[in-house]
Amino acid sequence: MNKKAFRIIEVIALTTLIFFGDRIDSFAASSNGTRFPKQGAAEFGYEYYAMFRRALSRSYGNLKTSDHFAIVSVGITDWLSLDGKIGMGDLTAKGGIHLPKLEFDNGFSGGYGFRVKFFEHEQTDVRIILGGQHISVHPQDRSIDDDKYESFLDDWQICGVVTKKIKCFSPYVGMKLSDCEFVYKINKHDKKRRYSRYHLGFLFGGDFFLLEEKLRINIEARLFDESGFSAAAAYLF
């Protein structure tokens, strides 16, 4: 194993511990695409993120969220990028036998993550990208009858994708391990945590590069552990 590959593995291990420390046993969020800004450069943009259905364990139904983010990716090296996002999102919990249908209005949402260019074949422009992402959604409280419900959602994942650049298009496909945590309180008492039922997922998508490759348009779909979709537009500075 060459020194660069060994250094990349060290960074993956260290960054995973820093970002996900207490969740290392069970890491869905978008993968943030295939672009790596050069060292010191950054891209800024907008992302729409939707999780249509995420099943919870122990008959607690399923979750749904829709989020709007301002996003940024910063190049640390030519093979490491740090990603962040901030915005607003809602949350719906339904279909369970233990809780009523809960629809929470838009509140704060945000996330962070990292991506590592683990492998690159220059002749064919094939790359393997590894990363970890986290999203947290904190919607407004909801009252039903005489009960007040407070809640938030934490969504974690680690993923790996294979991509090949074809002119101005970079399609990709990959696998992910993820966990979604639904935390709620009723009348400010007895905080409960419910976890997602499935953890292994599949994702596919693509990046379109326009305006001399300064503008990146991304679309992505996620299946099995969740039913989800995201779309983003970002400009490289």
- By C-alpha distance, which of 161, 139, 176 is closest to 207? 161
And the tokens for 94? 């339904």
Contact 199, 13 (CB under 8 A): no
pLDDT digits 0-9 by tens, 136-189: 999 999 998 888 999 999 999 999 999 999 999 999 999 999 999 999 999 988
- φ, ψ of residue 79 to 5 degrees: the values are -125, 5
Q: Per-residue pLDDT averaged across 209-213, rounded?
A: 97
Beta-bridge mates of residue 68: 48, 88
**Domains by residue range for the chain, with CATH:** 3-236 (2.40.160.20)
Q: How far apart are CA 176 and CA 223, in angstroms?
A: 10
Q: Measuring CA to CA, which residue among 181, 231, 180, 172 is closest to residue 202?
A: 172
Residue 5, pLDDT > 90, answer no
